[in-house]
């Protein structure tokens, strides 16, 4: 009787796991994973063409298209992503994923772009996301 009861419990757990697997998640994140509750931000390539090109290239080369807002660690992420990347006169070092993203930091894709494009884009993104709390998942779509 114990074996039958145990078997029924195992089967029930497997069935529940199958039906609730989307809510449970796998704990893995990749650039291709779809996130149903992501806030979509349409990044204006006409206003910030260098940053837009960098975002597209970084995603194409395997960086996540999602950003989980994590303002608290932005400075540490920036320090980590720009470590060992020399400054270049007349350029900013742009990182993607952005420093304010949980996905940012070590291993971020870095490109040299003009300061006006980089800083304008940073200000624009900051304004777009100002009402969203840390932990919000954002999908950047480059227009």
Mean pLDDT, 10 residues at a time, over the chain (143 residues)?
56 49 40 73 97 97 96 97 97 97 96 98 96 96 91
pLDDT of residue 28: 37
Number of H helices, E strands in the chain: 5, 5
Whether residue 142 contacts residue 58, with contact meaning beta carbons closer than 8 Å, is answered with no
Q: Where are the domains of the chain?
A: 29-142
In angstroms, what CA-CA distances link 48 with 8, 31, 55, 112?
59, 23, 11, 14
pLDDT of residue 100: 97
What backbone phi and psi angles, to 5 degrees, belong to 109? Answer: -80, 130
The contacts of residue 100 (CB under 8 Å, 6+ apart) are 67, 69, 70, 71, 74, 77, 125, 126, 129
């Amino acid at each position: 009787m114990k074996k039958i009861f145990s078997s029924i419990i195992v089967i029930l757990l497997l069935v529940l796991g199958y039906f609730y697997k989307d809510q449970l998640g796998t704990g893995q994140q990749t650039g291709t994973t779809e996130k149903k509750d992501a806030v979509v931000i349409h990044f204006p390539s006409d206003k910030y063409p260098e940053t837009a090109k960098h975002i597209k290239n970084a995603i194409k080369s395997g960086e996540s298209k999602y950003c989980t807002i994590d303002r608290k660690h932005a400075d540490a992420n920036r320090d980590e992503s720009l470590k060992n990347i020399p400054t270049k006169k007349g350029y900013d070092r742009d990182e993607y994923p952005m420093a304010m993203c949980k996905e940012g930091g070590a291993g971020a894709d870095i490109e040299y772009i003009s300061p006006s494009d980089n800083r304008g884009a940073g200000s624009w993104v900051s304004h777009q996301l100002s009402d969203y709390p840390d932990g919000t998942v954002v999908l950047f779509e480059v227009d």
